[in-house]
Structure 1
């Protein structure tokens, strides 16, 4: 949310609070039952004001905190994890990302294949044969669902890794692998996050996970924030407090004047 919209929403909430305060000031002309109705109305108006005007601002608090982290000099780097289709032009993706100022490295860490539901015999076979398909398969995990996760030796060409598995599959099952998922790790400065995300969004890619000081600040802020329902109820409570101030404004003014007068009297005695 931009600053102008934020200011407008805050002003609108203040306006409805002034309205609530004004209603409370009509207390001398009300019966006791009507006073209770004013408080109920103030709660409802406060809830509505919080839901429509303050909640959108409150929801942006984590983003504001992350923006602060992005501009802090000498902050630690962020790590962005991507899961993309093997059909994506990885060379172009790497070239475009690493040309963004602040992107330090682009590394393919692994690949994932989605097969069919494995039987126990097929699971045993896959676990036995995978270590012999390619020496650059560092680690692998075979799941009963048919998902095979393979970690690659750092620096190994991903196209070679995909070709090794595809050739083996073709020789054994006389078929072709139509889809694989490629896992990528991008290390970048906090200042490069927004531009990198904009580029990835243009390519239809959404980061799977982020790690680093910026993401930590977002997670920490989210963990301490109230949910929307609680925040709206607190806004309703603010409405009630404002209404009470309006109801008892005369007494508050009298107390304030007495305090001010006694303070002046004390100064004169000195």
Structure 2
């Protein structure tokens, strides 16, 4: 949410509170009905202001805090991407590596979707999969059509999948339908949004953003009260503003008397 828009929303809420205050000023203290009117008006107007002006700002508070944390943090965030091996993975990685703010790019595990893997082949594939390519460090069959393959840092994912595909068809008759490479970027916290915008569209998918800033945001989300409670608080704030306007003369007189009492004690 733009800063100007936030300011406008907050100003509009304060204008509603000013309306409640001025209405209460014009309400003479001549009975119980006026007292209830001010309470009711303040509560309703406060709820309306909270729902339409404060709640939208409140919803965007984590994003505003994220922007602030990013501009002040000197630590790195981790952006996790998925890239299909049907595309040119190496070219996509080279493109991402050149984006300003990216400190490093590292390809990680590869999720491989296959034709059916029966129980007989499950343990055999896991124990022998490293022979398919020297860059494969391990493999785990997590379902009857999915294998998670761990590779050495700096490996060529396209080459790994090409050799793995040939090997699997040869030894088991199991074919690879498609595969996805997980790529992790170390990015300057202040450049995360810019990096995400410059990622090659249609070639990569952002699956996760983590790091010190995201931890701070999660902590903030856990400490923030429920939005409905904020709206209810705005309603009660309207009541308080109305009562202050209604009894402003009494309040001012009391403050003057309090000041006189303090001065009198000092003089004594």
Tell me whether 214-223 or 168-177 shows the greater mean CA deviation: 168-177
Against the structure 1 CA distance between its residues 52 and 201, is the aligned structure 2 distance closer, same or farther, given a 3 Å change threshold?
farther
Please give the alpha-carbon distance, in whole angstroms, between the structure 1 residues aligned to 2:235 and 2:136: 59
Does the 8 Å CA contact 2:80/2:184 hold for their aligned counterparts? yes
Q: Which has the higher strand share?
A: 2
Please give the alpha-carbon distance, in whole angstroms, between the structure 2 residues aligned to 1:44 and 1:146: 58
**What is the number of residues matched between the two proteins?**
268
Does the 8 Å CA contact 1:119/1:144 hold for their aligned counterparts? no
Q: Which runs of 5+ in 1 are unaligned?
A: none
Q: In the TM superposition, what whole-angstrom CA distance separates every residue of 1:21-78 from its partner, at most 9, and x where no partner exists?
A: 23333443564245334323322321221121112222332223322332336x2222
Give the CA deviation at 1:229: 1.6
**Is 2:266 aligned against 1:253?**
no
Does the 8 Å CA contact 1:84/1:182 hold for their aligned counterparts? yes
Q: What SS class does the counterpart of residue 134 from structure 2 fall into?
A: coil
Does the 8 Å CA contact 2:114/2:175 hold for their aligned counterparts? no
- Structure 1 outlier segments of 4+, above 6 Å: none
TM-score, with structure 1 as normaliser: 0.86
**Is 2:88 aligned against 1:89?**
yes
Please give the alpha-carbon distance, in whole angstroms, between the structure 2 residues aligned to 1:32 and 1:116: 78
Please give the alpha-carbon distance, in whole angstroms, between the structure 1 residues aligned to 2:188 and 2:72: 11
Against the structure 1 CA distance between its residues 42 and 89, is the aligned structure 2 distance closer, same or farther, given a 3 Å change threshold?
farther
TM-score, with structure 2 as normaliser: 0.87
Please give the alpha-carbon distance, in whole angstroms, between the structure 2 residues aligned to 1:205 and 1:26: 62
**Is 2:132 aligned against 1:133?**
yes
Q: Which position in structure 1 is the counterpart of 2:112? A: 113
Please give the alpha-carbon distance, in whole angstroms, between the structure 2 residues aligned to 1:43 and 1:119: 65
Against the structure 1 CA distance between its residues 201 and 29, is the aligned structure 2 distance closer, same or farther, given a 3 Å change threshold?
farther
Give the CA deviation at 1:240: 1.9
Does the 8 Å CA contact 1:105/1:187 hold for their aligned counterparts? yes
Does the 8 Å CA contact 2:115/2:176 hold for their aligned counterparts? no
Q: Which runs of 5+ in 2 are unaligned?
A: none
Q: Which position in structure 1 is the counterpart of 2:99? A: 100
Please give the alpha-carbon distance, in whole angstroms, between the structure 2 residues aligned to 1:234 and 1:24: 19
Please give the alpha-carbon distance, in whole angstroms, between the structure 1 residues aligned to 2:125 and 2:259: 86
Q: What SS class does the counterpart of residue 208 from structure 1 fall into?
A: strand
Does the 8 Å CA contact 2:24/2:242 hold for their aligned counterparts? yes
Considering only aligned residues, what root-mean-square deviation do their CA atoms show, in Å? 2.6
Please give the alpha-carbon distance, in whole angstroms, between the structure 2 residues aligned to 1:15 and 1:92: 55
Q: Which position in structure 1 is the counterpart of 2:147? A: 148
Please give the alpha-carbon distance, in whole angstroms, between the structure 1 residues aligned to 2:232 and 2:204: 38
Does the 8 Å CA contact 1:100/1:192 hold for their aligned counterparts? no
Please give the alpha-carbon distance, in whole angstroms, between the structure 2 residues aligned to 1:144 and 1:138: 19
Give the CA deviation at 1:3: 1.7
Does the 8 Å CA contact 2:105/2:186 hold for their aligned counterparts? yes
